[in-house]
């Protein structure tokens, strides 16, 4: 939804954040799965791939993790549009999809730690450590169903609310089948799921960005200043 003035209500995440998220989030996920597509799926192969190609695998997993976070406003924007017609579908689909994104972010943190073990202790030790702890307890293991169910419910809600149309709803639904968990490689289904996500959400993001007035010079200047400040804060944060 677009930012408005006067007595009009603002609906998070706003036009610019929503449009950007709907385009960029799926693209980052697709880039992440494509970059590691030539390596075998299971965690020993992923660790071995990192040992041999650390930069490539770091970029791949970082793109996927970033895409997971960037998708948060996209889910919110889609839920707002569904909720205008089908509030129950919006609440259930949006909640499930967002919790699923949080669970994937947790998995990404474990991926990062596992790759760090390869650097610190070597491939054999890292593989053994991951194998010994793979079934260890974590709170997000109870949220795996949200990863699988959230996108399907959002797709059904978007169809019932007339937000995306049936072809893009069909493209959105297979996102539920995107492999989940720690150190997961790429399968043909991974590519289908992320490409479908791009096909489903990117056109809506483009429509949102183009559907409204162009930003004023003041808005552009404020955005540039905010971007510069975010970059500085990010650099400072990395020092800790």
How confident is the model over 43-92, as pLDDT tens digits?
A: 999 999 999 999 999 999 999 999 999 999 999 999 999 999 999 999 99
Which residue do the tokens 């697709």 mark? Answer: 30
Does residue 171 form part of some domain? Answer: yes
Q: Tell which residue, 126, 125, 238, has the closest CA to residue 182.
A: 126
The parent domain of residue 89 ranges over 15-215
pLDDT at 219: 81
Q: How does pLDDT run across 160-201, given as a tens digit for each residue?
A: 999 999 999 999 999 999 999 999 999 999 999 999 999 999
Is the full-model pTM beyond 0.95?
no
Residue 53 located in a structural domain: yes
State how far the Cα of 24 lies from the Cα of 219, in Å rounded to an integer.
21
131 within domain boundaries: yes
In a domain, 240, yes or no: no
| 29 part of a folded domain | yes
Q: What φ, ψ does residue 127 adopt, rounded to 5°?
A: -65, -40
Total domain count for the chain?
A: 1
| In-domain check, residue 235 | no
pLDDT at 8: 59
DSSP-derived secondary structure for 165-183: -HHHHHHHGGGGGS--STT
- Whether residue 112 is contained in a domain is answered as yes
Q: Considering the domain boundaries, does residue 222 fall inside one?
A: no
Q: Of all residues in the chain, what percent carry a pLDDT higher than 70?
A: 96
In the prediction, which pLDDT does 1 show? 42
């Amino acid at each position: 939804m677009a930012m408005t003035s006067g007595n009009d209500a603002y609906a998070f995440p706003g036009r610019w954040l929503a449009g950007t998220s709907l385009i960029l989030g799926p693209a980052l996920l697709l880039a992440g799965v494509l970059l590691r597509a030539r390596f075998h799926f299971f965690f020993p192969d992923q660790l071995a791939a990192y040992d041999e190609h650390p930069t490539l695998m770091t970029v791949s997993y970082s793109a996927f993790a970033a895409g997971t976070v960037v998708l948060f406003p996209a889910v919110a924007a889609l839920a707002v549009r569904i909720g205008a017609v089908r509030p129950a579908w919006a609440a259930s689909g949006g909640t499930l999809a967002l919790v699923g994104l949080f669970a994937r972010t947790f998995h990404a943190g474990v991926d990062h730690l596992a790759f760090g073990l390869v650097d610190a202790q070597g491939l054999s030790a890292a593989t053994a450590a991951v194998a010994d702890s793979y079934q260890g307890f974590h709170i997000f293991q109870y949220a795996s169903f949200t990863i699988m169910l959230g996108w399907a419910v959002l797709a059904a809600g978007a169809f019932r609310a007339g937000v995306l149309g049936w072809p893009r709803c069909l493209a959105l639904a297979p996102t539920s089948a995107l492999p989940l968990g720690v150190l997961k490689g790429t399968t043909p289904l991974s590519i289908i799921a992320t490409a479908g996500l791009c096909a489903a959400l990117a056109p809506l993001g483009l429509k949102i960005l183009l559907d409204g007035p162009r930003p004023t010079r003041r808005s552009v200047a404020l955005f540039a200043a905010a971007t510069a400040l975010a970059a500085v804060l990010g650099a400072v944060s990395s020092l800790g």
